[in-house]
Structure 1
Amino acid sequence: MNEAAAGSGLHHADLPGGRVEYRWAGPRLRDAALPVIVMLHEGLGCIALWKDFPDRMAAVTGLPVLVYSRVGYGGSAPCALPRPLTYMHEEGERELPALLKALGIGKHILLGHSDGASISLVYAGAAVRDGLLGLAVLAPHSFCEEVSVTSIAAADRAYATGDLHGRLEKYHGANTDCAFRGWCDAWLDPAFMQWSIEGYVDRITAPVLVIQGEGDEYGTAAQVDSIARRVKGPVETLLLPGCGHSPQRDQPEATLKALAGFAAKVQA
């Protein structure tokens, strides 16, 4: 059993792509007036890899937090390989709305990291989303950059010859190849250099908070600038010094403070 599956309070929901695991942190949905923070993990993430961040989010905001492992990750159903280059489009247009519907979630705030941030942007720009109060995106990508491909190629080498496979297997178990190859092989496909979700970003009217580390090894400040320029609704940006691709890990206090302020603002 992997570490995600061994965690307490796990539940499951059946989505179009397969069964996913999820858990709650903080207050439950006993008050329909209370919005839910929905957390979407990165390309190699899952519930367990968020560590205690969902619980800390619930504590600083006073809101219920929903965190789940997408299909192919953690203890969720395996995915088919190779993933299509449009896998983030499909997650934002189909899987995330299905999850919210299955769990009866009304008002919500999205919190996505990396791939999860891009999925959040697709979701918000694909259609009018009843109940969406805002989205906070950590280290998002709205187009592919050479620096992303270079860093992912380095991860591919570490997976083949280093200890990355073993470190991921602790969290993904039988889904380890789904998690890594589904993400890595899509990004390293030469056609992925043309990947973009900027058309979705152009249609976003909900408030957006963009947080990125100044030392992000997977993307540059051009990602922040593009999103800030394209979103139709209110946008806040935060570039964190001494921070790489994971603000929630590298600068947790500054990240939590910004997220708590944003959550309070979009509820006002």
Structure 2
Amino acid sequence: MSTPAQQTRIATARGHLHVRCWPGAAGGETRSPIVLLHDSLGCTALWRDFPDALARLTGHPVISYDRLGFGLSDAHPGVLGVDFVATEAQDSFGALLDALAIDRFMVFGHSVGGGMAVSIAAAYGMRCQAVITESAQSFVEPLTLDGIRAARDSFAAPGQMQRLEKYHPGKAQWVLDAWVNTWLSPEFRGWNLDAALARLRSPLLAFQGADDEFGSARQPQRIADLAAAPVELVLLPGCGHVPHRESTAQVLERVQHFVAQARLQADSARSSAG
């Protein structure tokens, strides 16, 4: 049975964020929330029933928020800077932690949200108990840019912008432009997660679809090669860019085991320190 999500809005320096929270089922035990970070055209609504399933299976509360300019959050006041992946850690994510009085947490990011998850974990150290990425870009490769160009062109078809508008009311064109113009800009070509990975202290589980149209297996391999923390790679045969929708059962099963192990390790580390 699905558990109704609680909805709230929290203030940031540049506008309000729409937030939804699914309670965990831990039998009274307090567990760190898993915070979801959506992709470049995504929002909380597009996670569909995955957050509820994740909360029920792991026993952890699950929190999802629409980044500024997306979904039901306020419009973004400008354009994305080329450092937008890294700055999410202190901007909206920092405001979320403060508003909800969150100390320790886990992060689960899809696509560019995966890059943000790594950057957040690097910024918050041991407050982040675990990182899960799926289809995360760790650097800019030609396949990524080709996929973005193809997706951009597809939005010229009748009904495509209206579909995007359904999930980003009044903001659809900004959302599309923010994705396309930022990633295809010359200034962004040298972007990567290398510095954040070098500061990572949390265990990381990385999913990658073998048929991902926006990134090759080189993306998670770079994460594994450069991370200063244990990394588990999961390559999903026959899966594209959205593992939590295309390979739901496999993703949930691996995440459940990974989260349980990360929780035990974090609890053990706290006990040793205390």
TM-score relative to the length of structure 1: 0.92
Indicate which of 18, 22, 41 corresponds to 1:21.
18
In structure 2, C-alpha distance between the alignment counterparts of 1:128 and 1:39, rounded to whole Å: 16
Matches within 5 A, 1:46-61: 46-61=43-58
Partners of 1:38 and 1:110 within 8 A in 2: yes
Indicate which of 148, 154, 165 corresponds to 1:152.
148
Greater relative CO (CA pairs within 8 A, separation 6+) = 1
What are the Cα deviations for residues 37-58 of structure 1, in whole angstroms up to 9, with x where unaligned? Answer: 1101001100100000000001
One-letter code aligned to 2:66:
S
What are the Cα deviations for residues 99-132 of structure 1, in whole angstroms up to 9, with x where unaligned? Answer: 112111122110000111111111122x343521
One-letter code aligned to 1:57:
L
Indicate which of 232, 236, 247 corresponds to 2:232.
236
In structure 2, C-alpha distance between the alignment counterparts of 1:155 and 1:226, rounded to whole Å: 25
Partners of 1:82 and 1:185 within 8 A in 2: no
Residue 29 of structure 1 deviates from its aligned partner by 11
Residue 195 of structure 1 deviates from its aligned partner by 1.3
In structure 1, C-alpha distance between the alignment counterparts of 2:9 and 2:113, rounded to whole Å: 19
Residue 164 of structure 1 deviates from its aligned partner by 2.3
Distance 1:104 1:148, change over 3 A: same
Distance 1:29 1:93, change over 3 A: farther
Indicate which of 137, 140, 144 corresponds to 2:136.
140
Partners of 1:148 and 1:217 within 8 A in 2: yes
Indicate which of 161, 183, 190 corresponds to 1:187.
183
Partners of 1:81 and 1:181 within 8 A in 2: no
One-letter code aligned to 1:97:
G
Residue 136 of structure 1 deviates from its aligned partner by 0.4
Which position in structure 2 is the counterpart of 1:11? 8
Distance 1:189 1:97, change over 3 A: same
Which position in structure 2 is the counterpart of 1:106? 103
Which position in structure 2 is the counterpart of 1:210? 206
Partners of 2:37 and 2:65 within 8 A in 1: yes
What are the Cα deviations for residues 158-206 of structure 1, in whole angstroms up to 9, with x where unaligned? Answer: 2234432111111111121222111111011122221112111111011
The count of residues paired between Structure 1 and Structure 2 equals 261
One-letter code aligned to 2:53:
R
TM-score relative to the length of structure 2: 0.90
Matches within 5 A, 1:158-197: 158-197=154-193
User: Which blocks of at least 5 consecutive residues in structure 2 are unaligned?
Assistant: 265-274
One-letter code aligned to 1:148:
T
SS in 1 for 2:91: helix
Residue 34 of structure 1 deviates from its aligned partner by 1.3
Distance 1:8 1:253, change over 3 A: closer
In structure 1, C-alpha distance between the alignment counterparts of 2:164 and 2:27, rounded to whole Å: 35
Cα RMSD (Å) of the superposition?
A: 1.9
Which position in structure 2 is the counterpart of 1:117? 114
What are the Cα deviations for residues 225-260 of structure 1, in whole angstroms up to 9, with x where unaligned? Answer: 110011111111100011000000110000111111
